[in-house]
Amino acid sequence: MNLSTNISAIDLFCGIGGLSHGLKKSGIPVLAGIDSDVSCRFAYESNNEADFIGGDITSITGEELLNKYWDKPGVKVLVGCAPCQPFSTHANKIKDEEKEGGKKWNLLNEFARLIEETDPEIVSMENVPNLANKKIFQEFVDLLKSKGYHVAFSKVYCPDYGIPQKRRRLVLLASRFGEIALIEKTHDKSNYKTTHETIGDLPRLDNGQRNPDDALHYTTALTDINLKRIKASKPNGTWMDWDEELRLPCHNKETGGTYKSVYGRMSWNEPSPTITTQFYNFGTGRFGHPEQDRALSVREAALLQTFPQDYKFYQNEGDISMTKLGTQIGNAVPVDLGCVIGKSILSHLQKHERL
């Protein structure tokens, strides 16, 4: 059966297309993605055969989406990952971000508004696990239930689905057709995909080096002191492995033991730490290469986020910016998690004979 005639998706807060590409990989066509960061347009449209709608989501109406994309019968799937900074554990320490009703908190309400205006048969949202504890999330779930959706949500450990990264995410699925759930886990501790399986075959890089055959396989140069620190670091070790003269003043404070993974070196034999927007900075997490004395390259982070090797991130090499790519790749939904969501939706629709 040709799924493209029966089902289609629109991706809110799409970024460079991690979730969209995962849906596409699963077999669900994506018609459009919406994001306020217009620098994502090239990567999104080049890889997903979908339109990129650049702009503030508050200016997008359901009527526009229905008229341009969902004007024919079929199963409508509305997905998205509202920017997670207001809901993260780190942001909860920042008073301005914690105020519910603020601009970023309101993005989830905009998602709810577009659900009401487009009336999709299937809804999926991916976000940080901490969101599940917030009043705004419960209101989102209550709205879906009041509209007749069957709602399920769970906290997902990405290695359980073959994603080589210790990322934990909240995934919500909602359907008008009946009970819906994620597909069964595909991996366990005995066969988690490791960092070595994912990036171990890439060409070696020295500190600050760029691979001549891959514009994305490059790293920022470490300072002299950080180069000494990474040389003193062990896989899965901490700054406590260093000699005293290499330690920072904060390490000697009582709170210094709280962030032991900062300036850490990754391990080959397990999934990587969560890839953040600062993966290229050795001092912001466990982003030291397992054996080479450097931080992660852009290519390595993209692969750990399960973007395929041929994913197009830039139009011209002159457009490459470590800061921009760090934000785009770190904020993305891992492609293979998007594929899991897509497979779950398709399994559900087949069960209810909607395809």
- List the chain domain ranges: 3-188+334-351, 195-331
Q: How far apart are the first and last CA of the chain?
A: 8
Q: Tell me: pLDDT of 334 over 50.
A: yes
Instruction: Characterize the bridge pairing of strands 75-80 and 7-12.
Output: parallel
**CATH architecture assignment, domain 3-188+334-351:** 3-Layer(aba) Sandwich (3.40)
Q: Mean pLDDT, the chain, as a whole number?
A: 91
What is the reported pLDDT for 97? 44
Over residues 38-92, the pLDDT tens digits come to 999 999 999 999 999 999 999 999 999 999 999 999 999 999 998 865 554 444 4
What Cα–Cα distance (Å) separates residue 234 from each residue in 191, 193, 245, 268? 23, 21, 17, 11
- Per-residue pLDDT of 165-177, as tens digits, reads 999 999 999 999 9
Average pLDDT of the segment spanning 185-192? 98
84-138: pLDDT as tens digits: 655 544 444 444 444 555 555 689 999 999 999 999 999 999 999 999 999 999 9
Catalytic amino acids?
84
Q: How far is CA 237 from CA 207, 278, 291, in A?
A: 20, 19, 12
Exposure string of 221-259, with b = 16+ CB inside 10 Å and e = fewer, is ebeeebbbbbebbebebbbeebeeebeeeebeeeebeee
* Residues making up the chain, counted from first to last: 355
Protein fold of 195-331? DNA Methylase; Chain A, domain 2 (3.90.120)
Task: Tell me the CA distances in angstroms from 189 to 2, 42, 158, 182, one per residue in order.
Answer: 37, 37, 12, 19
> Could you tell me which residues are beta bridge partners of residue 78?
10, 123
